[in-house]
């Protein structure tokens, strides 16, 4: 690894540590604190990332990817039988994701807003959709599966971004686990063919 790559990774590791220690509240994370933690000069942060905001968005993405990958630790074959229907499996995956979103709201908000500025196949939102696709195993055309996964992720993001107005906007109290679980169940059922 070159010195530039090592400096870049040191900056990322230090920023991830600071974000995690702050509980996702990035308001007090400064470029200076990142520089001190990483042992890399202040000027290299802008050189490698353009701005502190770009760096934090990238690091939030790494945190989220690592967490989403841990939803099914040790699972190598997602196609093995688990006794669940696609709707039940998708509801389970989405409920875990929604709980993570609300538990890490500051970090996730940065990531979602960053994705919306530059929505690519490798962004966190698209990776979440790919995770949802693993829940869909029944004989459904691939285009429909992708549409369901895209709609579910998009609906969840919009509901999350509605913040304190979520109850008024969605009709569900998303501040509570019970409200979030019902919202996910009803949304999945609607996307999979109708409300039960």
Q: What CATH number has the domain bearing residue 22? A: 1.10.10
Same-domain pairing of 13 and 92: no
Best CA proximity match to 71, nearest among 48, 94, 88: 94
Same-domain pairing of 25 and 80: no
Q: How many domains in the chain? A: 2
* Residue labelled with tokens 């990238």: 58
Best CA proximity match to 86, nearest among 143, 133, 135: 135
Has residue 165 been placed in a domain?
yes
Best CA proximity match to 184, nearest among 110, 52, 61, 87: 87
Has residue 105 been placed in a domain?
yes
pLDDT tens digits for range 50-85: 888 888 888 887 777 776 666 554 455 556 677 889
Lookup: tokens for 9: 């990774």
Strand locations in 61-119 (E):
none
Has residue 65 been placed in a domain?
no
The per-residue pLDDT for 160 is 95
Same-domain pairing of 98 and 130: yes
Average pLDDT on 12-27 reads 83
Has residue 64 been placed in a domain?
no
What domain range includes position 164? 71-191
Average pLDDT on 122-130 reads 86
Report the alpha-carbon distance of residue 37 to residue 136 in Å, rounded.
Answer: 43
Same-domain pairing of 83 and 146: yes
Same-domain pairing of 53 and 77: no
pLDDT tops 60 at residue 42: yes
Average pLDDT, the chain: 86
Same-domain pairing of 53 and 110: no
Has residue 96 been placed in a domain?
yes
CB 34 within 8 A of CB 11: yes
Has residue 196 been placed in a domain?
no
Same-domain pairing of 93 and 51: no
Same-domain pairing of 51 and 107: no
The per-residue pLDDT for 149 is 95
Confidence of residue 1 (pLDDT cuts 50, 70, 90): confident
The per-residue pLDDT for 196 is 41
Confidence of residue 110 (pLDDT cuts 50, 70, 90): confident
Judged by average pLDDT, the poorest of 40-54, 67-81, 100-114 is 67-81
Same-domain pairing of 54 and 85: no
Higher pLDDT, 77 or 43: 43
Same-domain pairing of 46 and 88: no
As a whole-number percent, the residues of the chain with pLDDT over 90 amount to 39
Has residue 66 been placed in a domain?
no
pLDDT tens digits for range 133-165: 888 988 889 999 999 999 999 999 999 999 999
pLDDT tops 70 at residue 17: yes
Has residue 103 been placed in a domain?
yes
SS3 29: coil
Report the alpha-carbon distance of residue 10 to residue 184 in Å, rounded.
Answer: 38
Confidence of residue 111 (pLDDT cuts 50, 70, 90): confident
Same-domain pairing of 43 and 77: no
Same-domain pairing of 75 and 20: no
């Amino acid at each position: 690894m070159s010195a530039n790559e090592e400096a870049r990774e040191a900056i990322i590791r230090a920023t991830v540590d600071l974000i995690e220690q702050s509980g996702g509240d990035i308001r007090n994370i400064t470029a200076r604190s990142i520089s001190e933690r990483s042992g890399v000069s202040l000027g290299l942060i802008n050189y490698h990332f353009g701005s502190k905001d770009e760096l934090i968005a990238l690091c939030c993405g790494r945190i989220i990817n690592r967490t989403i990958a841990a939803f099914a630790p040790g699972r190598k074959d997602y196609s093995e039988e688990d006794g669940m229907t696609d709707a039940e499996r998708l509801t389970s995956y989405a409920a875990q994701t929604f709980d993570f979103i609300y538990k890490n709201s500051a970090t996730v908000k940065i990531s979602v807003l960053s994705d919306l500025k530059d929505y690519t196949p490798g962004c966190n939102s698209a990776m979440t959709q790919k995770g949802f696709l693993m829940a869909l195993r029944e004989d459904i055309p691939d285009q429909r599966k992708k549409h369901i996964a895209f709609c579910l992720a998009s609906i969840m993001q919009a509901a999350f971004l509605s913040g304190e107005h979520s109850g008024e906007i969605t009709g569900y109290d998303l501040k509570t686990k019970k409200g979030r679980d019902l919202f996910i169940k009803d949304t999945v059922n609607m996307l999979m063919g109708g409300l039960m």
